[in-house]
Amino acid sequence: TTATGDFKVRDLSLAPWGRKEIQLAEHEMPGLMKLREEYGPSQPLAGARIAGSLHMTVQTAVLIETLVALGAQVRWASCNIFSTQDEAAAAIAVGPTGTPEAPAGVPVFAWKGETLEEYWWCAEQILVWPGGEGPNMILDDGGDATLLVHKGTEFEAAGAVPTATEEDPEEYRVILDLLRRSLGEDPQRWTRIGQGIKGVTEETTTGVHRLYEFARAGTLLFPAINVNDSVTKSKFDNKYGTRHSLIDGINRGTDTLIGGKVAVIFGYGDVGKGCAESLRGQGARVIITEIDPICALQAAMDGYQVTTLDEVVSTADLFITATGNKDIITAEDMAKMKHQAIVGNIGHFDNEIDMAGLERTPGVVRNRVKPQVDEWVFPDGHSIIVLSEGRLLNLGNATGHPSFVMSNSFANQTIAQIELFTKNDEYEKKVYVLPKHLDEKVARMHLDALGVKLTQLSKEQAEYIGVDVAGPYKPDHYRY
């Protein structure tokens, strides 16, 4: 990294390129631009100090500048070591009116290819604000910023930071080291930060899962809005987003022809459904693994073979994990795969594929093909290709989801931030989803751009099906 100030990015001279990409993306993000029009004059986020932890891409840049346009102060980090687009980070640091020589943008701490120590340092920078006041809102993706505040608060209450055990992942050791140093510097830092936060809005399935666990244990420190489970998020970003970006990542990483190959997708949830369609669209024969009978049956009815990894481990060409669960592909599985099989993960964390076990396999050799693409050669001479070291490949090998689908997700994020910040008294330390009328509002904001003409309900029809003419059009339990 070369450029630092109250920010740290790879190279500020990339800013003009990033700015051009941001301008193009704005046109593709009608939801965010309409929110700027609607809320710009009233500045509902004036006074909000948002700590944002979400992949620092071009689309996220448009989100950041939307939050700023609504009055917020923002500090930002990426939520993955490989997912930053350096030109977008540079453009955010420079800002629309600054120059690379005189940056005047948002404090952003993100570059592509961070170490784990750097990653958690960046997370700390968005939460520990210079000067007296800390953040009063978190915007999280995967829950790492929220986790740091909760763990810090927990250890400060105990007066000590535990030592990592053998079973703990390496990353946990890094977190503990950071918090140990912090405790030495200021024994109440995280408690204060936690108390100052009015709420968090969480982007993804895995982060939402963590929030419900805190809530169940009674340790959630502030209210949370689960953005993931807005219909216009998980049924769009997770599905149509991965349908675009999975294949993009595989192509940019390997340029291997997908047609005619056999691809295994682990998990047939929202992400798995998009991934399966993505590969089928390229002419692959797609096989699904599932643990849930409902999703397994769905996959079968959608025309996919559903089986176990053992049945296909030595014959399939591509293996993509999309479960949000751990230990999906083991080192022993990878040893059994055929020569130059491609292995990747699109779930939030890197524990779906046992990379540590692969590294420990006796005689295995790792050859770097290029950044985020490695060939792992086994002692018998056969090799496999692992994308993004087992981290989410659509952001590591490509640039994540395209703007239009992220406009839906980020419109939900922006609305959720406004909700929690402006109506904070109405929320307890629980996890909420946005009401359906706001979900429908997000969808509505994206119809014109696609030339969609909506049919208008008559008053009689509305009464007949028991809804209001203006919506919501479905009961909360409807599943889409």
Q: Which is nearer to ligand NAI, 250 or 328 (CB)?
A: 328
Q: Which is nearer to ligand NAI, 190 or 214 (CB)?
A: 214
Work out which of 168, 292, 332, 428 binds ligand NAI, going by CB under 6 A.
Answer: 292
Shortest distance (Å) from residue 204 CB to ligand NAI: 4
Q: Is residue 129 a contact partner of residue 149, using CB atoms and an 8 Å limit?
A: no
447 is a contact residue toward ligand NAI (CB under 6 A): no
Residues annotated within a binding site: 57, 141, 203-206, 233, 237-238, 267-274, 290, 325, 346-348, 394, 401
Q: Is residue 233 a contact partner of residue 412, using CB atoms and an 8 Å limit?
A: yes
Q: Which is nearer to ligand NAI, 122 or 275 (CB)?
A: 275
Q: Judged by CB under 6 A, which stretch of 26-34, 92-100, 103-111, 319-327 contacts ligand NAI?
A: 319-327
Q: How many CA atoms lie within 13 A of 166 on its CB side?
A: 0
Work out which of 205, 399, 413, 414 binds ligand NAI, going by CB under 6 A.
Answer: 205
Phi and psi torsions of 283, nearest 5°: 90, 15
| Cβ-closest position to ligand NAI | 269
Q: Which is nearer to ligand NAI, 120 or 319 (CB)?
A: 319
| Interface map 162-191 toward ligand NAI (x if CB under 6 A) | ------------------------------
| Interface map 265-284 toward ligand NAI (x if CB under 6 A) | -xxxxxxx------------
Q: How far out from the chain centre does Cα 199 lie? A: 18
Tally of CB atoms within 10 A around 131 = 5
Q: Is residue 110 a contact partner of residue 56, using CB atoms and an 8 Å limit?
A: yes
Which tokens sit at 321? 């994990």
Q: Which is nearer to ligand NAI, 206 or 307 (CB)?
A: 206
- What's the CA gap between 455 and 449, in Å, rounded? 17
Q: Judged by CB under 6 A, which stretch of 5-13, 22-30, 38-46, 202-210 contacts ligand NAI?
A: 202-210
Residue among 379, 383, 274, 374 nearest 320 (CA): 274
- What's the CA gap between 284 and 317, in Å, rounded? 10
325 is a contact residue toward ligand NAI (CB under 6 A): yes
Tally of CB atoms within 10 A around 283 = 11
Say which residues have a Cβ less than 8 Å from residue 42's Cβ, sequence separation at least 6: none
Residues annotated within a binding site for NAD(+): 204-206, 238, 267-274, 290, 325, 346-348, 394, 401
Shortest distance (Å) from residue 223 CB to ligand NAI: 21
Phi and psi torsions of 90, nearest 5°: -65, -45
Say which residues have a Cβ less than 8 Å from residue 188's Cβ, sequence separation at least 6: 156
322 is a contact residue toward ligand NAI (CB under 6 A): yes
Residues 229-268 that bind ligand NAI (CB under 6 A): 234, 237-238, 241-242, 266-268
Q: Is residue 401 a contact partner of residue 278, using CB atoms and an 8 Å limit?
A: no
Q: How far out from the chain centre does Cα 169 lie? A: 20
- What's the CA gap between 372 and 366, in Å, rounded? 12
Tally of CB atoms within 10 A around 97 = 8
Work out which of 85, 201, 204, 413 binds ligand NAI, going by CB under 6 A.
Answer: 204
Phi and psi torsions of 376, nearest 5°: -110, 115
Work out which of 24, 291, 297, 469 binds ligand NAI, going by CB under 6 A.
Answer: 291
Which tokens sit at 243? 């349908």
Residues 12-71 that bind ligand NAI (CB under 6 A): none
Helix residue spans in 77-227 (DSSP H):
86-94, 116-127, 144-158, 170-185, 189-196, 205-217
- What's the CA gap between 128 and 80, in Å, rounded? 19
Q: Which is nearer to ligand NAI, 46 or 291 (CB)?
A: 291
Shortest distance (Å) from residue 19 CB to ligand NAI: 24
Q: Which residues pair with 263 in a beta bridge?
A: 286, 318
Q: Which is nearer to ligand NAI, 250 or 392 (CB)?
A: 392
Work out which of 53, 201, 289, 414 binds ligand NAI, going by CB under 6 A.
Answer: 289
Residues annotated within a binding site for substrate: 57, 141, 203, 233, 237
Residues 333-392 that bind ligand NAI (CB under 6 A): 346-348, 392
The footprint of ligand NAI (CB under 6 A) covers: 204-206, 234, 237-238, 241-242, 266-272, 289-292, 295, 322-325, 328, 346-348, 392, 394, 401
